[in-house]
Amino acid sequence: MNRRLLLVSSALMLSAALVGCNSKESATAISAPKAAPAKQAPSLEAAAQARGFTAGAMMAANPVYVFFDPQCPHCGHLWNASLPLQKSVKFIWIPVALINASSLAQGGALLAAVNPADAMTEHETSLLAGKGGISASSSLSPELEQAIKKNTEIMTSFGAEGVPFVVAKNLRTGQVISRDGSMSTAALADLLGVSQP
């Protein structure tokens, strides 16, 4: 009986660990803007106003917007889950700053990288290995800092409190969908209405 309880407890802790990060989890979180815009339903048009980088099928007609915090390990898991789908799906990864001061600096470094997708793979590999991610200067250009702050405002305007946060159109149903938290490749493919390779 104790073994069964231990297994159930472990499964619940693992599922909670794989969901997502939010600003309430960290005492050093960068708070959302004080005058946040009114909550609105997530839309592709609003998500398209954010600044991110593209990974995957550049010519795909329906982009998938992923708001992520560079310090969020759940975002790293979603990045890895998205890799098999990148041959057929155009992902736009949008950095936000929710967790700590490194979020802003690393988000700026990823946006400014010559090859952001390669930089993201390097970053997420380091982060998931417990090494903190790529090194980044804490002094960002005002343009990059403003872009990441605007990204954060757009995400929070959707009512999202955690990352990763996905906004996309399901290709099977045509419906605009949104979801927060990490997921497996199969679950991500199902959410997006695409075939899993």
Q: Domain residue spans in the chain?
A: 19-192
Angle (CA) 87 47 133, round 5°: 65
Total residues found in the chain within this entry? 197
Residue 22 DSSP label: E
pLDDT of the residue at 33: 36
The CATH architecture that domain 19-192 belongs to is: 3-Layer(aba) Sandwich (3.40)
CB atoms within 10 A of CB 85: 21
The band of 139, judged by pLDDT with boundaries at 50, 70 and 90, is: confident
> In this model, does residue 168 exceed pLDDT 70?
yes
CB 93 within 8 A of CB 120: yes
Residue 112 CA to residue 134 CA, distance in Å, equals 13
- The pTM for the full model equals 0.83
State mean pLDDT over 29-42: 52
Tens of pLDDT, residues 102-127:
999 999 999 999 999 999 999 999 99
